[in-house]
Amino acid sequence: MDPRRATVSRKTKETEVGLTLVLDGGGRAEVSTGIGFLDHMLELFAHHGRFDLAVRATGDLRVDGHHTVEDIGLALGQALREALGEKRGINRFGSCLLPMDEALALVAIDLSGRPYLVHNLELGGTRIGDFDGDLAAHFFRSLVTQAALTLHIRLLSGDDPHHIVEAAFKGTARALAQACERHGRDDAVPSTKGTL
């Protein structure tokens, strides 16, 4: 089968992002965003989803990380949409209940073609190293917008912001890998409409 991959370049007055995603990879990551905690999250996203992910980003970090986080999320969503193509022969749905110490996240994904995010990641005013906690939800919103997928992230427990965000990223990676997996029964688009 052809490898499912995409390369995306995104350049604005605020950021420049180059990103390559291989869905059927081995979990390898080469990430440099200028935001250490985001690098860590993207590396574990690749590892736990078994995706190969390369990201090089520069942005106006002297202002804050908002534009960089947003544009990386948009680029990753676009790459995911392009790598999936017509979405033939995939599971379409995926879910994961992911513990990270005291944090527990429930994540469910539908590669529906309809962008929608539901979450309860309430981390405004929280700093995790060099990362504003409220940017976690913003990253997922950007990803959902370009990937055209439905994503639910429900935090069931958690006190440590690092663990909360890590559970969300790992859970999303695991659920996404399940949804993208080829089931091998046929090459149909998994929708009664015939398109996603």
Nearest to 34 by CA among 22, 23, 42: 42
pTM of the entire predicted model = 0.96
Alpha carbon distance 85, 21 (integer Å): 13
Share of the chain above pLDDT 70, in %: 99
Q: Mean pLDDT, to the nearest integer, of 1-26? A: 95
Does 1 have pLDDT greater than 80? Answer: no
Dmax over CA atoms of the chain, in Å, equals 51
Separation of alpha carbons 58 and 183, rounded Å: 38
The predicted model gives 65-77 an average pLDDT of 98
Is the Cα dihedral 118, 120, 125, 128 positive or negative?
negative
Position 194 scores a pLDDT of 85
pLDDT number for residue 50: 98
Q: Which domains does the chain show, CATH number per domain?
A: 5-180 (3.30.230.40)
Mean residue pLDDT of the chain comes to 96
Give the pLDDT confidence of 90-102 residue by residue, as tens digits. Answer: 999 999 999 999 9
> Each residue of 51-61: pLDDT tens digit?
999 999 999 99
Identify the residue with better confidence: 9 or 185: 9
pLDDT exceeding 90 applies to what percent of the chain?
93
Over residues 121-140, mean pLDDT:
96
